[in-house]
Amino acid sequence: MNPDVIDKVLLFFFHELQNYFTLTGRTFVRIFRRPFYYREFAIQFDKLGFSSLFICTLTGLFSGMVMALQSLIQLKPFAATSYVGGMVAVTMIKELGPVLASLMVAGRVGSAITAELGTMVVTEQVDAMRVEGTDIIKRLVVPRFKAMLLALPLLTIVTDMVSILGGYIMSAGYNINPIMYISGLPQFMVFQDLIEGVAKPAVFGAIIAITGCYVGLGTKGGAEGVGAAAKKAVVLSSVLILICDFFIAKIFVVFRG
């Protein structure tokens, strides 16, 4: 490959990376500055949070049922089906719950944020706000960032609870009573697992919001550009979620000793 091409690719990559982290830093700084745009935050929390409740509930229900079914098949030959509740809980709360909920929200919410901001860019609404002296990051990015930072952990908790319920629904067909199912939960989990299950979606929510806003505010090319930007935001958010999931899990493993 031509060295000039490699240089251009690397320069473009690091330029985009610098701009991404610059937007992230400016967003964090502006969280604590007035005005706080409470109304906009409430609107975004409703649009990004409550509107995603159904898809997260559905995802959690069937994920828990599948996990329980597979666990029952594997544990039945060893007469250890009483542990199925703990296996479902630890798998969903530590790993699958945060990741699946985040990927569902990234597909639904990340694309919506990008499309909304991208449309505002191509119709020159953002330029008009800048002319009026409005802080674009404070007005457009921070409310969405705070909404996702609060909404995704709550959605993940709902997903985890529904998945445990779905696991019991499947386990009940194998003559496992509720007491046996619930008693298996503390045998596989510690308090740190609950912390990990909440910390991950908080980070993932920040990734979804920042990525959607960054790609949306950089949209070019009219209506076609908006569609391409929405697709780019979903793919980028999903990849970053999976990468960060590994590193966060590794950090918790190190602290756990």
Whole-model pTM: value is 0.90
Stretch 191-216: mean pLDDT? 91
Please give the pLDDT value at position 1.
58
Would you state the pLDDT for residue 240? 94
Residue 2 — pLDDT band, cuts 50, 70, 90? Answer: low
Residue 7 in any domain: the answer is no
Polymer length in residues for the chain: 257
Q: What tokens does 42 get?
A: 């409430």
At residue 213, the pLDDT reads: 93
Determine contact, residues 153/143, Cβ cutoff 8 Å.
no
CA distances 95 to 35, 39, 41, 131, Å, are: 37, 34, 29, 45
Residue 154 domain-assigned (yes or no): yes
∠ Cα 131 208 42 (to 5°): 65
Name the one residue in this structure whose structure tokens are 């709360």: 93
- 69 to each of 58, 92, 174, how far by Cα in Å? 17, 14, 10
Residue 47 sits in which domain range?
A: 35-256
Count how many domains the chain has.
1
Higher pLDDT residue, 96 or 78? Answer: 96
- 21 within domain boundaries: no
* Listed residue (190, 240, 185) closest to 212, CA to CA: 240
Q: How far is 100 from 57, CA to CA, in rounded Å?
A: 11
> What mean pLDDT is reported for the chain?
87
Task: Specify if 240 maps to a domain.
Answer: yes
Q: Tell me the mean pLDDT in the region 109-126.
A: 89
Inside any domain, residue 142: yes
**Token code pair at residue 100:** 């699946």
Q: What is the mean pLDDT of residues 65-75?
A: 86
Residue 60: inside a domain, yes or no? Answer: yes
Residue written as tokens 């990234």? 106
Contact residues for 232 (Cβ-Cβ < 8 A; gap 6+): 114, 215
Q: What pLDDT shows up at residue 237?
A: 94
Instruction: Average the pLDDT over 127-154 and give the result.
Output: 89
Q: How far apart are CA 78 and CA 254, in angstroms?
A: 32
Q: Which residue has the tokens 């509930």?
A: 57
Residue 47 counted as domain residue = yes
**Is position 1 within any domain?**
no
- Residue 40: which residues within 8 A CB-CB, separation 6 or more? 139, 143
